Amino acid sequence: MSKFKNKTVWITGASDGIGKEMAIQLAEKGARIILTARNKEKLAAVQQSLAGEGHVVFPMDLLKTEEIPAAAEKLLAQVQNIDVLVNNAGISQRSLTKDTDLSVDRKMMELDFFAVVILTKALLPHMLQRKSGQIVTISSVAGIAGVPMRSAYCAAKHAVKGFMGSLRAESYKDNLEVIVVTPGSIRTNISKNALEGDGKAHGTTDPAIANGIPVEDCVKKIVRGMERGEPEILIANTKERMVVLLRRFFPKQLFKVLRNIKTT
């Protein structure tokens, strides 16, 4: 029997990409899915595509971080319990540090870090009381290495990785599984939706993303890691895996490589 049979899974950023595919694959394993993103119509379409019944559309704008605690309380009253939280919602960046308006840095941190922290803290008492739960956060290889034209994105992903590492150490005795997923280039709309230095959408797909790992394959590995309770799940191509290894064992060599890396 699947670990997720009859479990309630809350997925943010569920209208597209990794979040949508996670909803599909976890529903196939018998989970009840709570779908969150800003676009209610897209969420409804995803809901209709899911196997099983009882899935919930729960629209939220996670940039309105002050509204998150009350929204989480409202949802808990509606569904009674949440077994798994998947912090997937986020946005990327495509601009040099010197060309990036501070408002973009703040927006990146607000969505990719603070919204994750606030939502996690909103559900944490519930999971600690039940002494059961799984918190899954989608980070990035950018959360390991500082990549050109991604300064704010890298900062947020480094931050969330550190936060979840501390939470994992603190909550192990309470039977909570804290999982950080580190994807590399995955075929999603992440680069199309990324912000440029002035806050406008990038609007194009990077070659690395276009030639990246299919989202279905990525999510299969995520779900497999969730079933096993793996604390960290790396999903990346050979070059991106080398970045992770170099950062750990040969940081000076990596820094030299990153000086000349071509990013868009």
Catalytic residue among 4, 58, 113, 153: 153
CB 154 within 8 A of CB 108: no
CB 147 within 8 A of CB 191: no
Token reading at 171 = 């909550």
Q: Which residue has the tokens 């096993």?
A: 228
Q: Is 264 helix (H, G, I), strand (E, B) or coil?
A: coil
Does the annotation mark 153 as catalytic?
Answer: yes
CB 183 within 8 A of CB 232: no
Distance CA 64, CA 15 (A): 18
Active site (catalytic) residues: 153
